[in-house]
Amino acid sequence: MIRFVFKRLLESIPTLLILITVSFVLMHAAPGSPFSGERNIPPEIMANIEAKYGLDQPLYVQYFSYLGDLLQGDLGPSFKYKDFTVNELVGQGFPVSAEIGLWAFLTALFLGVLFGTIAALRQNTWMDYGVMSLAMTGVVIPSFVLAPLLILIFAVHYQWLPAGGWQGGQWMFLVLPVLAMAAHYVSSIARIMRGSLIEVMHSNFIRTARAKGLPARYIVWRHALRPALLPVISYLGPAFVGIITGSVVIETIFGLPGIGQLFVNGSLNRDYSMVLGITVLIGALTIAFNAIVDILYAYIDPKIRY
């Protein structure tokens, strides 16, 4: 297993390098300068600004200079937020995205598995139809519709919860964004879980267990759930990264200071260092969580060995 983890780590280096190179080239190829605005800056002033940020250097020099800084953990200065470095901004934004994402993930996992299991065990009953209709609604309603709806009901009409803000992550500021973010994943997990559990429940070993007279609850809990969770787990790897690295829609609607907003604003503002920094972070997390999923697979299904 240690060899496997080590191998995965080695494999991740060229993947990350390709990711950085492609992102670097694409960012610089996009039209418009990070420093262009409504008012045109005279050439001599633009030259001063470009010199300060090293943009007066040839592209390959900028690229190797970026890689050199990156190796030392320095993501560079933000081109847009001039008072901050990218490290500071990502350091401020990532915990916010991660906290919301983690809660959304746990909510989605718990409710998704629960709903999926109920639907599978009550296949073709009103409970199955009810739960799966709810799940389908979650998939169909985009978060930019659901989030304002939640705000309208719980913040504007009843004023039970705040309409936005973070306030250091107080629980009441978390409820609506977590629900809005989790909804889509609850639905997906429930659908995957239902299908998987139905398949497992029709397999030979479950039939054998039933023939042996084991109680249904025992069969589900001890024999069916673990293998049924495998497709859910493979879905969770990339989903987890997606959730904890923030949803820009949710962050924008609720005014949350996460990295989703930084990333999108960075792209719009041509904030090269910000976009590259977050790309590297997301890339590294994706690789890491895919590796974790593989390890979990091996743990859950002893047939899988590396």
Q: Pattern of binders to another protein over 247-286, x per CB under 8 A?
A: ----xxxxxxxx--xx--x--xxx----------------
Residue 127 binds to another protein (criterion: CB under 8 A): no
Residue 31 binds to another protein (criterion: CB under 8 A): yes
Total number of residues that touch another protein (CB under 8 A): 53
- In angstroms, what is the minimal distance from the CB of 270 to another protein? 6
Tell which residue, 264, 263, 262, 258, has the closest CA to residue 173.
258
User: Which residues, including other chains, have CB under 8 Å from residue 28's CB and lie 6 or more apart?
Assistant: 59, 62, 272
2/29 with CB nearer another protein: 29
- In angstroms, what is the minimal distance from the CB of 65 to another protein? 18
- In angstroms, what is the minimal distance from the CB of 39 to another protein? 6
> For 146, what's the count of Cα atoms within 13 Å in the CB-facing half-sphere?
18
Quick check: 166 and 255 in contact, CB under 8 A?
A: yes
The interaxial angle of helices 143-150 and 171-201, nearest 10 deg, is 130
**Cα 69 to Cα 63: distance, rounded to the nearest angstrom:** 10
- In angstroms, what is the minimal distance from the CB of 83 to another protein? 5
The single residue among 5, 16, 41, 225 that binds another protein, judged by CB under 8 A, is 41
Residue 175 binds to another protein (criterion: CB under 8 A): no
**Judged by CB under 8 A, which stretch of 8-16, 85-93, 187-195, 218-226 contacts another protein?**
85-93
Residue 130 binds to another protein (criterion: CB under 8 A): no
> For 45, what's the count of Cα atoms within 13 Å in the CB-facing half-sphere?
6
> What is the CB neighbour count within 10 angstroms for residue 138?
24
- In angstroms, what is the minimal distance from the CB of 4 to another protein? 39
Tell which residue, 286, 270, 275, has the closest CA to residue 66.
275
- In angstroms, what is the minimal distance from the CB of 67 to another protein? 23
37/213 with CB nearer another protein: 37
The single residue among 8, 16, 23, 49 that binds another protein, judged by CB under 8 A, is 49
What are the CA-CA distances from residue 205 to residues 50, 87, 208 (Å)? 68, 52, 5
- In angstroms, what is the minimal distance from the CB of 52 to another protein? 4
**Cα 226 to Cα 271: distance, rounded to the nearest angstrom:** 45
Element spanning 125, H or E: none
Quick check: 285 and 37 in contact, CB under 8 A?
A: no
Quick check: 64 and 17 in contact, CB under 8 A?
A: no
**Cα 178 to Cα 171: distance, rounded to the nearest angstrom:** 10
Residue 45 binds to another protein (criterion: CB under 8 A): yes
Residue 39 binds to another protein (criterion: CB under 8 A): yes
- In angstroms, what is the minimal distance from the CB of 200 to another protein? 44
Q: Applying CB under 8 A, which residues contact another protein?
A: 30-33, 35-42, 44-45, 48-49, 51-53, 77, 80-84, 89, 92-93, 148, 151-152, 155-156, 159, 162-166, 251-258, 261-262, 265, 268-270
